[in-house]
Amino acid sequence: MPDGRSDSAFNKGLHSVARGDFLEALALFEACMEMEQRSGSALQVSAMSHYGLCLAMASDRLREAREICEAAVESAPDRPDLYLNLGRVCLKQQDRAHAFRTFVRGLRLDPRHPGLVEALRRLGFRRRPIINFLPRNHPVNQMLGSLRDVLGRNIRPGSRNRATRRARAA
């Protein structure tokens, strides 16, 4: 059973993460994990996951951070917060595809998880490439995609109706 000091360090670490102070949070989660080891109880999987997140955000040890977060998810695959942390580490590594899949896996556990919903919203959704058999970054797809975006901005459903309403009101 975790003692009060490790719980306190964990909660302070969460507050530091919320403030964006990942270096301070890293030290707090490390202290929490050390206290858990000394007391003989199992490591808090959540502390391990947050430690990995802070390691990624506060340093360039991204591979190690990802391995820590993946180990945490494997230990407790039923915890959506762990998927959020792993996805954030993947984003830090510029691995958007894996981050997206990780966020979706977390949302399968809790479809209303605010952190996961926000992370997916920020990540955004991409449309399919215009020409499916060409890669997304092919110049033809890029040019046609840009053209689709420009045309999509100028022609919106219902825009003629609004203009008609304004003309009638004037």
Which CATH number, 3.40.50.300, 1.10.260.40, 3.60.140.10, 1.25.40.10, labels domain 4-125? Answer: 1.25.40.10
Q: Can you give the pLDDT at residue 30?
A: 92
- Distance of alpha carbon 40 from alpha carbon 3, whole angstroms: 11
Query: What band does 1 get if pLDDT is binned at 50, 70 and 90?
Result: very low
Q: Can you give the pLDDT at residue 41?
A: 58
Neighbours of 53 (CB within 10 A): 28
Q: Do 70 and 101 contact (CB within 8 A), yes or no?
A: no
Question: Per residue in 70-95, pLDDT tens?
Answer: 999 999 999 999 999 999 999 999 99
Residue 158 has pLDDT above 60, yes or no: no
Q: Can you give the pLDDT at residue 56?
A: 97
Q: Can you give the pLDDT at residue 6?
A: 82
> Domains of the chain: which residue ranges?
4-125, 130-170
Tell me the average pLDDT of the chain.
Answer: 87
Q: Can you give the pLDDT at residue 3?
A: 65
Q: Is the pTM of this model over 0.85?
A: no
Q: Where are the beta strands (DSSP E) in 8-76?
A: none
Q: Can you give the pLDDT at residue 104?
A: 95
Using alpha carbons, list the distances in angstroms from residue 1 to 10, 37, 50, 79. 14, 11, 19, 19
Q: What is the DSSP letter of 44?
A: P
Question: Per residue in 39-75, pLDDT tens?
Answer: 655 568 999 999 999 999 999 999 999 999 999 999 9
- Distance of alpha carbon 46 from alpha carbon 84, whole angstroms: 11
Q: Can you give the pLDDT at residue 167?
A: 53
Span of 49-53, 137-141, 161-165 with lowest mean pLDDT:
161-165
Q: Do 23 and 52 contact (CB within 8 A), yes or no?
A: no
Span of 9-23, 56-70, 153-167 with lowest mean pLDDT:
153-167
Question: Per residue in 19-35, pLDDT tens?
Answer: 999 999 999 999 998 88
- Distance of alpha carbon 155 from alpha carbon 40, whole angstroms: 65
% of the chain beyond a pLDDT of 70 = 85
